[in-house]
Structure 1
Amino acid sequence: MGQLWTSHAPPGYRCPFCELLRAGELSEGNLCVASDLIYRTEQVAVIMACDGFGPHGGHAMVIPVEHHEALYDLPDDVAFRIMLETRRIALAMKQAWNPEGTSTRQHNEPAGNQHVWHYHQHVFPRFSGDNLYGRLRHRVSIEERAEKAAQLRAALAEADLWA
């Protein structure tokens, strides 16, 4: 059976997540900054997202360390680690921010609403009336993202949730 999907990354694509993980110079237009990195294991990393939804800022994304564009090309062992880290960061959010719930979501290809061509699993703290699916997307400041990343790291340590 041949490949059932096509890459949507444009020619010469500079992946913002790969740049962040290399800890080198970020290209112009890359919204990621070094303080967005919450933690990294051999296979996956957790980073703060630069966007917030509704009245809330601060959600995280679990990404593979190696570049994989979509769910379709994730190796099984990496997919497994992503799910474990998704649970770990959701529990850290419960500890740090006391949300009423959590949600996860992941997008593939343009019609699936993917816009960064590196797999990423969103993990959201949820609050009544937060309008997560209402398209009230806004940029979260670097300072707020750094503060939220520090809160999640502290919650991971306090609740002994480190990998």
Structure 2
Amino acid sequence: MSDCVFCEIVADAESAHRLYEDDRTLAVLDDAPAATGHALVVPKAHHETLTDMPGDLASAVFWTVQRVAAGIEDALDPDGVSVVQSNGAAAGQEIGHAHVHVVPRHGDDDVTVSWPDDGEVDAETARRLRDAL
């Protein structure tokens, strides 16, 4: 897809700091990092969201996420690592190619990943989700 920056990076038509690559996935440093070492893991094939990917590709992506998180822990010794994946603009997805953020965290950093406690827990929602699954 020629208008997709991640497809351009995969094709080596756009530069990026490549960290890891296999036949199905690519990990690069984020060009607007929330913290030093903030990485992105993308499927090489263009899929807009996690739920658009076949299951075996989603598994491959998250295997790479696990590998990158371990590499961040070994190389940068952070206090923790946040793993964030968003589907759709309402969830914060800015690029229409599925990707996972792997962000080194330190106790005193300014990175925030939080949710307000304003959802509902109820049997009807659980039933609807079970039915969908």
Q: Give the TM-score of the pair, scaled to structure 2.
A: 0.79
Structure 1 residue runs of 4+, over 3 Å off? none
Larger Rg: 2
Given candidates 83, 104, 111, the residue that maps to 1:132 is 111
Report the Cα offset of residue 58 of structure 1: 2.5
- Structure 2: how far apart are the matches of 1:100 and 1:111? 29
- Structure 2: how far apart are the matches of 1:125 and 1:15? 26
Task: Indicate the RMSD between aligned Cα atoms, in angstroms.
Answer: 1.6
In the other structure, the counterpart of 1:17 is 6
Superposition pairs of residues 112-123 of structure 1, within 5 angstroms: 112-123=91-102
- Structure 2: how far apart are the matches of 1:105 and 1:88? 15
The unaligned stretches of length 5 or more in structure 2 are 114-133
By relative contact order (CA 8 Å, sep 6+), the higher-ranking structure is 1
- Structure 2: how far apart are the matches of 1:13 and 1:72? 22
Given candidates 50, 60, 66, the residue that maps to 1:87 is 66
SS at match of 1:20: helix
- Structure 2: how far apart are the matches of 1:115 and 1:80? 22
Name the % identity.
32
- Structure 1: how far apart are the matches of 2:2 and 2:90? 19
- The one-character-per-residue Cα deviations of 1:20-77 (angstroms, maximum 9, x if unpaired) are 11112x4xxxxxx24x221211111111101122xx3330011000000001201101
In the other structure, the counterpart of 1:75 is 54
- 8 Å contact kept, 2:2–2:8: no
- Structure 2: how far apart are the matches of 1:42 and 1:127? 32
Number of residues of Structure 1 aligned to a counterpart in Structure 2: 113
Superposition pairs of residues 38-77 of structure 1, within 5 angstroms: 38-53=19-34, 56-77=35-56
The unaligned stretches of length 5 or more in structure 1 are 1-11, 27-32, 135-163
- The one-character-per-residue Cα deviations of 1:98-150 (angstroms, maximum 9, x if unpaired) are 0011110011111011000100000011100212117xxxxxxxxxxxxxxxx
SS at match of 1:123: strand
Q: Give the TM-score of the pair, scaled to structure 1.
A: 0.65
